[in-house]
Structure 1
Amino acid sequence: MSNSTKTYQMISNTKIVNHKNMLIVIGQKGRLIYHLNKTFQDIKLILSNQTLKLNQNLECLQNEKVLDSILKNVNKYYFIKLNLSGIGFRSWVYFDSNKQQILIIKIDLAKDLRFIIPKSVTVFCLNPTLILIRGIKKDDVKALALKIKLARKTDNYKGKGIFLENEEKRLKIGKKI
């Protein structure tokens, strides 16, 4: 087992705290908390003014990729836009009494769809048919977008449904009499 040293250049206003079994990275857009597993606990963090050095075994390459993505993503937002396509489709966002963000989507169903938004994600309705999902955790943003998209199956004959912003709508040809 040979040791290697990886050096990361820190972006200004980024702070890293190693507390118990957690690595807390605080950036301009928010904070990310990473729970250290046993292989990551063997890594020695060396913090200086603007650099972070890791002394680790070569077996921990996956943790190195995770840390690399955490340091990049804590200072920028990841976002996905969803389009509602169909007559009467609309959406809006409100906060409930517990200051929890709630997304309501009205589509062809008898009841409106209600989504409770996690704290790490923010949802904006740019207009009634355009939803912007934003957060610093890429996995949370993608999971919420997929959950919303799968709430209603798309109609390939009429072009109705919930689509990603750049998704191509493939319409099928209807029956000919």
Structure 2
Amino acid sequence: MSRIGKHPVPVPAGVDVNVSGQTVSAKGKLGSLSLTVIDDILATLEDGKVVVAPRNDSKRARNMWATTRTLISNMITGVSTGYTVNLEINGVGYRAAVQGKELVMQLGYSHDVKYPIPEGIAIKCDKPTAISVSGFDKQKVGQVAAEIRGWKPPEPYKGKGIKYETETVLRKEGKKK
């Protein structure tokens, strides 16, 4: 039995959840999201909580039970409070700024790197070396942060590059004389 899947997902105040057939939709102050549940999983709304259960005892149903519950939980959390991923830029002359609908980064290349900000995502640069990616869709926020980090991942000798705020870069010693 799934330890995660058996817990119902509580619906906070201010969030409207609708379960119709295999579609679960959540609407809150930040936006609205919907999820189509696979046929092996049954999602119902009972007493202000979303209950997820497998329809049968197949391997796919057991695998997707907790996954579906977590996706619904992420959806409800996203439309009520949202998600934020913070990135740090390390390196001499490395900086970022938001100009209109683009994130413009100077990362040691001969040109500026321009990243168009997608719909539903807000990017802020409080300092030139700090980027904050926020939005209500957890998958989209993580994907945008990974794409920004992909322009210049941190290198192990000096630690230069873009890294997550919680990430630790394993440093190497370098050459010896």
Q: How high is the TM-score relative to the length of structure 2?
A: 0.75
Looking at structure 2, the residues matched to 176 and 8 of structure 1 have their Cα atoms a distance apart, in angstroms, of 56
Kindly indicate whether residue 127 of structure 2 is the aligned counterpart of residue 127 of structure 1: yes
Distance in 2 between residues matched to 1:85 and 1:173, nearest whole Å = 18
Q: Structure 1 or 2: larger strand share? A: 1
Q: Offset of 1:73 from its aligned partner? A: 3.1
Give the one of 88, 92, 115 matched to 1:83: 88
Alignment gaps of 5+ in structure 1: 96-100
State the secondary structure of the residue aligned to 2:110. coil
Describe the shift of the 1:110–1:24 C-alpha distance in structure 2 as closer, same or farther (beyond 3 A).
same
Question: Partner residue of 2:151?
Answer: 151
* Structure 1 residue aligned with 2:107: 107
Separation (CA, whole Å) in 2 of partners of 1:28 and 1:129:
30
Q: CA 1:78–1:44 in structure 2 vs 1: closer, same or farther (change >3 Å)?
A: closer
1-side partners of 2:81 and 2:90: how far apart? 29
Residues in 1 aligned to 2:22 and 2:176: alpha-carbon distance in whole angstroms: 65
Letter of the structure 1 residue corresponding to residue 68 of structure 2: N
Aligned sequence identity (%): 21
Contact 1:27/1:75, CA 8 A, preserved across alignment:
yes
Cα distance, 1:10 vs. partner?
2.3
Larger of the two Rg values belongs to structure: 1
Q: Does the 8 Å contact 2:37/2:68 carry over to 1?
A: no
- Matched length: 165
Q: Do the aligned partners of 2:153 and 2:163 also contact (CA within 8 Å) in 1? A: no
Q: Give the Cα–Cα distance (whole angstroms) in 2 for the partners of residues 74 and 106 of structure 1.
A: 33
Q: Verify the 8 A CA contact 1:6 1:55 in the aligned structure 2.
A: no
Provide Cα deviations, 1:109-151, integer angstroms capped at 9, x if missing partner: 0111111222232111011010011122222122111111121
TM-score (normalizing by structure 1)? 0.75
The question of whether the paired residues in 1 share the 8 Å contact of 2:154 and 2:162 is answered with: yes
Q: Kindly provide the CA deviation profile for residues 83-120 of structure 1, in whole angstroms up to 9, marking residues without a partner as x.
A: 1111111101132xxxxx32111111011111122223
Deviates further, 146-155 or 120-129: 146-155
Partner of residue 176, structure 1? 176
Describe the shift of the 1:12–1:112 C-alpha distance in structure 2 as closer, same or farther (beyond 3 A): same
- For residues 102 and 16 of structure 2, the distance between their equivalents in structure 1, rounded to whole angstroms, comes to 31
| Local SS of the residue matching 1:166 | coil
Partner of residue 69, structure 1? 74
Alignment of 1:25-44 (within 5 A): 25-39=26-40, 43=42
